[in-house]
Amino acid sequence: MELVLATRNRHKVSEIRAILQGLSLTIRTLDDFPTVPEVVEDGATCRENAIKKARVIARETGKLALADDTGLEVEALGGRPGVYSARFAGEHATFSDNRLKLLQELKGISGLKRKALFRCIIVLASPTLVLAAEEGVLSGRIAVQERGQKGFGYDSILLLPGRRRTLAEMTPEEKNRISHRARALAKIKRHLKRLVSKDPSQQRGVAQLG
Ligand code: IMP
């Protein structure tokens, strides 16, 4: 069975591949389907965006598709940037631009008030149905300055409680054990296992969401 990952972010692709290894799935990415159009992420929530991406990519490729959408919610900013995390510093902002804007907005805000969390929604769709939507959360605190070189996005400014390290100071294996994406994906993996199973009675267990 083939599964298309609805992303061009190579960091996400390698995280997802690592977590799904062991399932008898052939994993494709959008690089394998160069004519598939870019999906505009114009939903009001990460869930809406993930559902839209999974639906469109499954329909356009004719295969099972998996889409994820993540938002960083910062308590002192009333949950911002949330669904706007990729464009926090503007439409064509780089990861670095977004991190610097966040550090700037939190200047003077100390310790406990820098609480933040990543919320990841992962959606699995067939060409005709949304099969599952699952959420994973990772809580931490926004660091005062960037630390670490690994990962991507906001990794170098999310400090994890008890670990005194940012996500960017962890190995990919460590990040994949605890991350918001790993947590959502662990739940999706159960749906995928049922789908790849040859037992038709197990396939009936997959819920139809819309
Ligand atoms: P996306 O819509 O899922 O690509 O996520 C929106 C933004 O959240 C991205 O542009 C990244 O800046 C950030 N992001 C998503 N996942 C992660 C992660 O695992 N670590 C750090 N930042 C992330």
Lowest mean pLDDT among 10-19, 76-85, 181-190: 10-19
Ligand 1, from 16, 72, 98: best to mutate by most atoms within 8 Å of Cβ?
A: 72
88 lines ligand 1 (CB under 6 A): no
Q: Is residue 208 part of a domain?
A: no
SS3 content of the chain, % helix, strand, coil (to 5): 40, 25, 35
> What pTM did the predictor assign?
0.90
CATH number at residue 193: 3.90.950.10
Domain boundaries, position 149: 2-202
- As a whole-number percent, the residues of the chain with pLDDT over 90 amount to 81
How far is residue 45 CA from its own chain's centroid? 13
Instruction: Output the CA–CA distances (angstroms, integers) from residue 178 to 11, 114, 142, 170, 189, in the order listed.
Output: 16, 20, 17, 11, 15
Of 69, 97, 155, 199, the active-site residue reads 69
Nearest to residue 13, comparing CAs of 50, 88, 66, 82?
Answer: 66
Tell me, in angstroms, the distance from the centre of ligand 1 to residue 197's CA: 31
198 within some domain: yes
Name which of 47-56, 74-83, 103-112 the model is least confident about.
103-112
> SS3 of 86, please?
helix
Residue 16 domain flag: yes
CA-closest residue to ligand 1 atom 13 = 153
pLDDT-based confidence at residue 198 (cuts at 50, 70, 90): low
Instruction: Check pocket membership of 29 for ligand 1, CB cut-off 6 A.
Output: no
For the stretch 89-136, pLDDT in tens is 999 999 999 999 999 999 999 888 899 999 999 999 999 999 999 999
- Using a 6 Å cutoff on CB, does residue 85 contact ligand 1? yes
Say if 174 falls within a structural domain. Answer: yes
Residue 209 belongs to a domain: no
Give me 137's structure tokens.
């959360």
Note whether residue 117 is domain-resident. yes
pLDDT at 54 over 90: yes
In a domain, 53, yes or no: yes
Name the residue of 53, 152, 160, 176 whose CB sits within 8 Å of the most ligand 1 atoms, as the mutation to test its pocket. 152
Does residue 69 have an active-site annotation? yes
Q: How many domains, the chain?
A: 1
SS3 assignment, position 97: helix
Q: Ligand 1 in contact with 68 (CB < 6 A)?
A: yes
Return the HEC string of 37-57.
Answer: CCCCCCCCCHHHHHHHHHHHH
Average pLDDT score, the chain: 92
**Residue 192 falls inside a structural domain:** yes
Distance CA(141)–CA(104), nearest Å, equals 15
pLDDT of residue 205: 44
Ligand 1 closest atom vs CA 68 = 3
pLDDT over threshold 50, residue 210: no
Task: Give the closest residue to 12 by CA, choosing from 131, 185, 135.
Answer: 185
Question: So what's the pLDDT on residue 208?
Answer: 54
- Counting from 1 in the atom list of ligand 1, the atom nearest the Cα of 70 is 3
Q: Is the pLDDT of residue 29 over 70?
A: yes
* Segment 72-93 mean pLDDT: 97
- Tens digit of pLDDT for each residue in 164-190? 899 999 999 999 999 999 999 999 999
